[in-house]
Amino acid sequence: MKMKLVAAVCMGLTMSTGIVAADAPALSTDMDKLSYSVGIDLGKNLKRQGIEINPTVMAKGIQDGMNGGALLLTEQQMKDTLSKFQKDLMAKRAAQFEAKSNVNKEKGEAFLNQNKLKAGVVTLPSRLQYKIITAGTGGKPAKEDEVTVEYTGRLIDGTVFDSTDKAGKPAVFKVSQVIPGWTEALQLMPAGSTWEIYVPTNLAYGARNVGGPIGPNEALIFNVHLISIKK
């Protein structure tokens, strides 16, 4: 448990600014170089998290922990401090996530409200939108069918987050095994079609944290070419 708490601190902290650096060490041995490299790696990880600590005091803690001598805090004090840090950090991140989620939802709704006014854009009762780029003449897939598609996925700001171009080959999957917006759109597309579909957050990933460029409550845009259908 203690190690998990310490790891959480290391992953959640950052270097404070305004600290006067000591004279640079000579780094004359492999151990010196390793020690410095570990410090740089840790410092970069800490800085990315955006939470201030006192690096001088942290260095003292590392030294005392390695030397095994008298400590400035009791085990209980350290446990309580790290536990409070974890709770505060989780609360802060939850608040940041909720704020980002709300902003993304508002931006997505504004985008869709403007987009539906554009020529050629069709808005379905579900609020899913699509625009036919190329009209296909083949059949339409059912929910249980397997389809082969080429696609590019973008955020509403144009950021590409996924594309079959990266894999160098089309994607193959069942119509029922993708996000609801895709499932709905695919069943309306004749094979051979290329559509641009505009997916509201409730038909995409919702408020989930899926990682990568896709934030919570993001509306998404896909350019989809339906190549073939397998019944």
Q: Tell me the three-class secondary structure of 160-178, residue by residue.
A: EEEEHHHHCCCEEEEHHHC
| CA-CA-CA-CA torsion sign (199, 200, 206, 211) | positive
Residues 64 and 131 in one domain: no
Residues 134 and 54 in one domain: no
Rounded to the nearest integer, the mean pLDDT of the chain is: 89
C-alpha span between 113 and 123 (Å, rounded): 10
Residues 61 and 132 in one domain: no
Structure tokens at 173: 């999957």
Average pLDDT for residues 179-187, to the nearest whole number?
98
CATH number of the domain residue 195 falls in: 3.10.50.40
Of residues 188, 195, 199, the one with CA closest to residue 224: 195
Average pLDDT for residues 150-178, to the nearest whole number?
97
Average pLDDT for residues 102-123, to the nearest whole number?
98
48 pLDDT tier (thresholds 50, 70, 90): confident
Of residues 16, 18, 17, 14, the one with CA closest to residue 50: 14
Q: Which of 4-13, 131-140, 146-155, 165-174 has the lowest mean pLDDT?
A: 4-13
Domain count for the chain, please give it: 2
Residues 68 and 7 in one domain: yes
Confidence (pLDDT) at 2: 44
Average pLDDT for residues 33-62, to the nearest whole number?
86
Residues 137 and 210 in one domain: yes
Residue ranges making up the domain that contains 58:
2-72
Residues 125 and 217 in one domain: yes
